[in-house]
Structure 1
């Protein structure tokens, strides 16, 4: 990140979410100004401003093929932008339901029920199941084939805020750190070939993890649980050490580590297979809101209420770079698939691009 930084104005209210497209060519952001904006990564200039939401845009998500972006706002609407070949989209709500949509037909295919309070988050799309966490203190798993609920994972003493699957990165990114292939949509591969490549990445990561997908959940009760969401309801590990609520959890792209961010101003690292504590990363002076991994799993970036980003080395388990520059709290961070850029968005209404 020592190569420079730039500031991108445009939003009229705080930037709440920001995410690079899986191919690394585009950047999207959602804001309290009720808009979704698309930006050209190479020129760092605006491409489109999408209006229509009636309240703050709280979250955005790219389809793996980059042809669709979904955004959700505080009024309960989910909107789709740049429609293409992607078909399925899952959304969650305060009504306690998870809905699966046909994105092309804009039609609800299935309603996944069982939660008794607001659904706070969804895990990344797995081939065999869908997973959601709720303020009812449970995590629920449904079969992808027919929507039948497989199991309820219980044990947390308060709201479950965040989920992550060990295969998230293979499902949601087109970048292969081994070959350097970013998988641009401009390449000559057919859709079937791209799907086959994605399935191969998933299978490779699953094999390196012992053939079993793992799920981690973080809660307002200051704890995390590590689960095998397919096999049973008993957690593999209960992960303790944070002193305040947990905002964000992320498996590293190689699934060897888990990073957790908390209101206690720290980031903690855990073994991806066992949930065993590895290290605490300290340096932020206020709550840590979000973390993001580099594609090679060697670096981690964090964004905080203290208005800074910090880059941490996994080799030394220490702070590598301090990135001040925002004038207020940093709500969103993401790392580009090629590892060359970090984006951050915050209460100061700005997006910032940090280059290596």
Structure 2
């Protein structure tokens, strides 16, 4: 039985009690300090001994908690004991401004700000339980210290032409892929990778696939200008729930907002379309569709982790940042974006760091650039690829950036030092995409050689990860 210690302040009593009740009902041994609730306790001289007997700490992250002496003591002791800490974010805080708590950024975090919504609470609770049940295997998580030891662990055979994109579901159990063979493939990744289903509804090459972070939905898009929404509730087979045909040319990329309520797409028609799909499962349509303009083809789009920014990458050599106002989504069409300028050729992709205000971009100019989203300035230029850089993706902890290129390689970069730490040369054609598994133990790559390859630390398979 997993033993869980909940660290919180009295202002967050309601959530602490909710979690204790729900987790105990699911078989966890949960400790919650009722003295804190009853008497506003400020210190505990037995805390070190108590924490030593627990497997992990769940921290309710709020401004009040960060200023609570007992919470500060709990976090400090958990750090000393090297206990896993799971951070539940109750409000948006710039903890980077305080060096004292900057180390919290290295822990797993879940946005729990909507927990009082019953439907959201159930989904968030399931996500927390998944994190708590994950086997603690830090030695096999891809890191700067072992990145140069990565080996090919598996090859997934299912496509008969170029593989364009691969994407993981939030829990890491499913992998979706798509390619020039007009198919969308769905894989079971829980043990040995297994092909579950192949869908052939698209009438031309399929460019991108994306899982909803909150619903059992998968989106796909391609050269037929159609975005298809697939229902995942009746696996192993996919069923088309609905489709969007509001673009007039090929659609290259898709992105769900972190709360799953918005779906953005990037197209050859020089636009990004942002859709409100809150009720799509019930109505089959988008409540709102907002077009955003570039001066040339748009190749990629991504939401920031907090859902407040949308970044788009274009053949016009610009990156545009759009501020999302949920209260006035239609007004986004008239909003002026901020520009990130620096690439000398078209921009192929953008990726937000999971825990830092950093954006990575890749370009046909063979460079990868890092941008500070606070002052919108370039803070790094990663040089090493010898041809156009197709995509970039951050590891779950944000410490490693993986980039793919038309030079047939994948490069891994240490984000802090901005140095190349590994080069993977396992494909015979362009590498079109790479994605880390949600537990950080695997890197999946997709290529023009028709192959999907799984990379990881060799001992990972032997130890049953």
Moved more, 64-73 or 5-14: 64-73
Note if contact 1:23-1:66 (Cα within 8 Å) is conserved in structure 2.
no
The aligned counterpart of 2:56 is: none
Q: Which residue of 1 aligns with 2:418?
A: 317
Match of 1:162 in 2: 300
Taking only aligned residues, the RMSD between alpha carbons, in angstroms, comes to 3.2
Decide which moves more: 317-326 or 46-55. 46-55
Q: Is residue 193 of structure 2 the alignment partner of residue 80 of structure 1?
A: no
Q: Distance in 2 between matches of 1:310 and 1:293?
A: 12
Report the counterpart of residue 5 of structure 1 in structure 2: 152
Alpha-carbon distance between aligned partners in 2 of 1:293 and 1:74, rounded to the nearest angstrom? 27
CA contact (8 A) 2:207 2:253 kept: no
Match of 1:21 among 169, 185, 196: 169
- 1:40-189 correspondence runs (5 A): 40-41=188-189, 43-53=191-201, 54-64=203-213, 67-75=216-224, 76=226, 78=228, 80=230, 82-83=232-233, 106-107=241-242, 120-125=252-257, 131-139=264-272, 141=274, 147-148=287-288, 153-154=292-293, 156-167=294-305
Provide, for residues 133-157 of structure 1, a one-character-per-residue CA deviation record: whole Å limited to 9, x for no partner.
Answer: 454545455666783466x655x43
Alignment-derived partner of residue 94 in structure 1: none
Task: Give the total of aligned pairs.
Answer: 291
Check 1:235–1:258 CA distance in 2 against 1; reply closer, same or farther (3 A cut): farther
Name stretches of at least 5 consecutive residues in structure 2 with no aligned partner.
1-146, 279-285, 458-465
CA distance in 2, matches of 1:52, 1:141: 26
Residues 24 and 338 in structure 1, CA contact (< 8 A), matched pair in contact too: yes
Structure holding more strand per residue: 1
Mapping 1:24-35, distance limit 5 Å: 24-35=172-183
1:198-223: CA deviation from partner (whole Å, max 9, x where unpaired)? xxxxxxx47xxxxxx12222211111
Residue 229 and residue 15 in structure 1: after superposition, are their counterparts in 2 closer, same or farther (change >3 A)? Answer: same
Indicate the SS of the match to 1:274.
coil
* TM-score normalised by structure 1 residue count: 0.70
- 1:314-341 CA-partner distances (Å, limit 9, x unpaired): 1101111111110111112111111111
Aligned to 1:171: none
- Residue 226 of structure 1 aligns to a residue in which SS? strand
**Residue of structure 1 in register with 2:317 after alignment:** 222
Contact 1:301 1:333 in 2 (8 A): yes
Q: 2:223 touches 2:251 (CA, 8 Å); kept in 1?
A: no
SS of residue matched to 1:106: strand
User: Which structure features the higher share of helix residues?
Assistant: 2
Q: Gaps (5+ residues) in structure 1?
A: 86-102, 168-204, 207-212
Instruction: Please give the TM-score of this superposition, normalised by the length of structure 2.
Output: 0.55
